[in-house]
Amino acid sequence: MQKTIRISTHKREGLYDITSRVEEEVAKSGTQSGICSVYAQGATAAIMIQESWDDSVQKDVVMLLRKLIPRGGWEHDRQDGNADAHLKSGLVGPGETIPVIGGKLGLSTWQNIFFCEFDGPREQRSIVVTVVRVE
């Protein structure tokens, strides 16, 4: 089963919790045992599994990446001024794979799935969710 979910973002950089949307697709698939791939389409976005208890972790992720890869001064900035977004996206990575166990995502209590926006805001971002049964 494969489905593209779409979200809009409202900041240049931020983490957006998409766990419930992915859970819906896993439930619709009827898969009891398998894997779920979550993939961000776009060269300036990424997917990350991270703690969701409070938003301080998400803020810290953005702050760390800003310190590691600051805006400006990169060769690609001559093209469209978003080289840092490309580098952050490449560092975090475009996707994650989560086991499906008993029909549910095999995330721990504190883990959620986040779409990472590094070049927003965007009216529409696409995330491909692929569920593969192994039963």
CATH number of domain containing 19: 2.60.120.460
Both tokens of residue 106?
Answer: 């095999």
pLDDT of residue 112: 98
pLDDT at 44: 98
Residue 11 in tokens: 């900041």
pLDDT of residue 54: 87
Q: What is the structure's pLDDT at 10? A: 98
pLDDT score at 29: 97
pLDDT at residue 129, as a whole number: 98
pLDDT reported for residue 77: 86
Q: Determine if the pTM surpasses 0.75.
A: yes
Residues 28 and 13: their CA atoms lie apart, in Å, by 31
- Using DSSP bridges, classify how beta strands 104-105 and 95-101 pair: parallel, antiparallel or unpaired: antiparallel
Q: What is the rounded distance in angstroms from the CA atom of residue 127 to the CA atom of residue 55?
A: 22
pLDDT digits (tens, 9 = 90+) for 18-51: 999 999 999 999 999 999 999 999 999 999 999 9
120 is written with which tokens?
């927003």
Tally of domains in the chain: 1
Provide the domain limits for residue 119: 2-133
Looking at residue 48, its pLDDT comes to 98
Q: Which residues, given as ranges, of the chain have pLDDT below 70?
A: none
Are the beta carbons of 84 and 73 closer than 8 angstroms?
Answer: no
